[in-house]
């Protein structure tokens, strides 16, 4: 069971150091894996503050080339050099707002895996796609692109994040999550996280579904108490 906090564009280095010092007092990752995915500029602060705690530090994106004329990009090898052990790729915010495609997400995933990083590759349908009963088509296309580029890797995790549930307070029902996860499971042998308005109040019921292997948590990961409560819920359902 993996609980990953995706901080998105929150917490610079100073706040990261303070937060991580507090986090290691509240979250002991025994029995579950715990990850924080922090902004690039805060990675060093997080790696330093969490050293020896068992909580791992991931980036939120990584480029598919190691060097070159790619202004504004960061390479997987550069992340590894900092003590970062993984990265998110293909988050829906990157797809919606920054032109990420299935192909670029897949290239990022493949290069990060080849560089020794773990990867959380995000997939998920829009509300209109769900309404039109296209959820499985979309998931099939998105997961297919990742698998085609990466092959089977023990360091690949998929995050199912229905776009309509991200930051909206609308959560997939446990049945909706389970059904999407079971479908993804037919495509890939990898852990599958659920993301989309995961909170302390709904974590246990979502994580209790048989094909939900963890959570990718946005807003509720920004507060130590709520993130710790989600980790505790994960521990309680994984024993
Ligand atoms: P929220 O938990 O804020 O809905 O965000 C989910 C998410 O996008 C995690 O990557």
pLDDT of the residue at 39: 98
161 is annotated as an active-site residue: yes
Q: What is the pLDDT of residues 112-165, one digit of tens each?
A: 999 999 999 999 999 999 999 999 999 999 999 999 999 989 999 999 999 999
Place of tokens 């922090």: 38
Q: What is the pLDDT of residues 66-120, one digit of tens each?
A: 999 999 999 999 999 999 999 999 999 999 999 999 999 999 999 999 999 999 9
How crowded is residue 48: how many other Cβ atoms within 10 Å of its Cβ?
A: 15
Which own/partner contact pairs does 92-97 have at CB distance under 8 Å and 24+ positions apart? 92/122, 92/124, 92/161, 92/163, 92/166, 93/8, 93/166, 94/61, 96/163
91 is annotated as an active-site residue: yes
Q: Which of 93, 125, 129, 161 is catalytic?
A: 161
pTM for the model: 0.97
Widest Cα–Cα separation across the chain: 49
* Residue bearing the CA closest to ligand 1, atom 9: 218
Ligand 1 pocket member 216 (CB < 6 A)? yes
Contact call for residues 141 and 170 (beta carbons, < 8 A): no
Calculate how far, in angstroms, residue 182's C-alpha sits from the geometric centre of ligand 1: 21
Taking only Cα atoms into account, the Rg of the chain, rounded to an integer number of angstroms, comes to 16
Q: What are the Cα distances from residue 163, in Å, to 64, 73, 105, 203?
A: 24, 25, 16, 18
Ligand 1 pocket member 214 (CB < 6 A)? no
* Residue bearing the CA closest to ligand 1, atom 2: 218
Calculate how far, in angstroms, residue 215's C-alpha sits from the geometric centre of ligand 1: 9
Q: What is the pLDDT of residues 170-213, one digit of tens each?
A: 899 999 999 999 999 999 999 999 999 999 999 999 999 999 99
pLDDT of the residue at 67: 97
pLDDT of the residue at 31: 87
**DSSP code per residue over 178-225:** HHHHHHHHHH--S-EEEESS--HHHHHHHHTSTT--EEEESGGGSSHH
């Amino acid at each position: 069971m993996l609980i990953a906090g995706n901080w998105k564009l929150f917490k610079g280095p100073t706040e990261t150091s303070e937060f991580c010092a507090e986090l290691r007092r509240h979250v002991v990752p025994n029995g579950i894996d715990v990850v924080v995915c922090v902004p690039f500029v805060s990675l060093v602060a997080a790696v330093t503050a969490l050293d020896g705690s068992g909580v791992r530090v991931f980036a939120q994106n990584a480029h598919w080339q190691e060097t070159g004329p790619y202004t504004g990009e960061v390479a997987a090898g550069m992340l590894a050099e900092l003590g970062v052990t993984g990265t998110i790729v293909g988050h829906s915010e990157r797809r919606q707002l920054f032109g990420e495609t299935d192909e670029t997400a897949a290239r990022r995933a493949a290069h990060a895996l080849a560089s020794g990083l773990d990867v959380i590759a995000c997939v998920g349908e829009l509300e209109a796609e769900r309404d039109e009963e296209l959820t499985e088509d979309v998931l099939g296309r998105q997961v297919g692109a990742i698998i085609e580029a990466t092959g089977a890797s023990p360091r690949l995790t998929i995050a199912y994040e229905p776009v309509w549930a991200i930051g909206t307070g609308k959560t997939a029902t446990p049945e909706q999550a389970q059904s999407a996860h079971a479908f993804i499971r037919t495509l890939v042998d990898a852990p599958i996280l659920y993301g989309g308005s995961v909170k302390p109040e709904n974590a246990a019921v979502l994580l209790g579904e048989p094909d939900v292997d963890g959570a990718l948590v946005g807003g509720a990961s920004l507060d130590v108490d709520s993130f710790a409560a989600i980790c505790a819920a994960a521990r309680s359902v994984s024993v």
